[in-house]
């Protein structure tokens, strides 16, 4: 499989895993233990998948970017649902 396809899949997994975590994170108090937990719980999975895919540390910014995007999307979904009932 093409290495760029695998990289795209890895970043997509980072986004998709973090959408529900961002959704739940939005409901807890900011800077609480749960808030930090929901932000960081996906990191071991992303690291594991990166290592198993054979990528070096050089793609970490892409996977972290995907995780951040997923957190933001999940939080916005929760905000919209909360505002609109």
Q: What is the dihedral of CA 45, 47, 48, 50, to 10 degrees?
A: 120
Tell me the whole-structure pTM to 2 decimals. 0.92
Domain residue spans of the chain: 3-83
Q: Residues near 38 by Cβ (< 8 Å), separated by ≥ 6?
A: 21, 22, 24, 25, 28
pLDDT digits (tens, 9 = 90+) for 19-74: 999 999 999 999 999 999 999 999 999 999 999 999 999 999 999 999 999 999 99
Query: Rounded to whole angstroms, how far apart are CA atoms 44 and 32?
Result: 20
Question: SS3 of 40, please?
Answer: helix
């Amino acid at each position: 499989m093409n290495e760029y396809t695998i990289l795209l899949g890895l970043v997509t997994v980072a986004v998709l895993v973090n959408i529900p975590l961002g959704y739940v994170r939005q409901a807890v108090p900011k800077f609480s233990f749960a808030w930090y937990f929901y932000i960081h719980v996906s990191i071991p999975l992303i690291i594991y998948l990166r290592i198993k895919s054979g990528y070096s540390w050089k793609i970490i910014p892409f996977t972290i970017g995907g995780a951040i995007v997923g957190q933001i999307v999940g939080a916005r979904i929760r905000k919209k649902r909360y505002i609109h009932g």
